Structure 1
Amino acid sequence: MGDCGCEKAKKDLEEYLHNELCSEEAADIREHMENCPDCADEHRVGVVLTEAVKRACEETAPEDLKQEVLLKLRSMQKH
């Protein structure tokens, strides 16, 4: 593929973050980010966001909130 520019790196950043690119494309983007502070910053933001979403998906609601929601839903179904 050759040299990877900013446009390509930013377009494929999501796939790069999720390891969905072939090794050659990933290597090109990785090499580009080593020499491009702007793309490296975008990558860091992507990593932080990905980790935050992952943590949020692992959290559970407090038991009393679950019960309150269930009661409300049951009440709505009766009407």
Structure 2
Amino acid sequence: MNGHRHDAADEVTPAECADFLEQIVYLIDNELDDDDRAAVRKHLDTCNPCLAKYDLQRTVKEVVARSCSESAPGDLRAKIMVRLEQVRVEIANP
């Protein structure tokens, strides 16, 4: 049964799973209307592979969001600024 928990009447094709997987990002970002949100949640409740991909995507988005709110250490910022200036000089004086 390829890892899905579906009744025979509810069997979902790989193409349908792909459609749901495209909507996962919108679900995580709360950008789906009520009907679409309910449909995606229902699918995730019955499809273990899609649920695992949803969990992974949600975790990645949380890590990226947390990382984006942190500032680089001052010494790293200084090194980057020096290197950017070096690149500017190299570009201006080929």
Output the TM-score relative to the length of structure 2: 0.68
Percent identity over the alignment is 26
User: CA–CA distance in 2 between the matches of 1:75 and 1:35?
Assistant: 55
Q: Which protein shows a greater Rg? A: 2
Q: Which runs of 5+ in 1 are unaligned?
A: none
Structural mapping, 1:6-25, within 5 Å: 6-25=17-36
Give aligned pairs, total.
77
1:75 Cα deviation from its structure 2 partner? 5.0
**Cα-to-partner distance string for 1:14-64 (whole Å, 9 max, x where unaligned):** 111111110110011101111111111111011111011101101211111
> Are 2:52 and 1:41 equivalent residues in the alignment?
yes
Q: Which runs of 5+ in 2 are unaligned?
A: 1-9
- The one of 72, 75, 82 equivalent to 1:64 is 75
Output the TM-score relative to the length of structure 1: 0.78
Quote the RMSD (CA, aligned, Å): 2.2
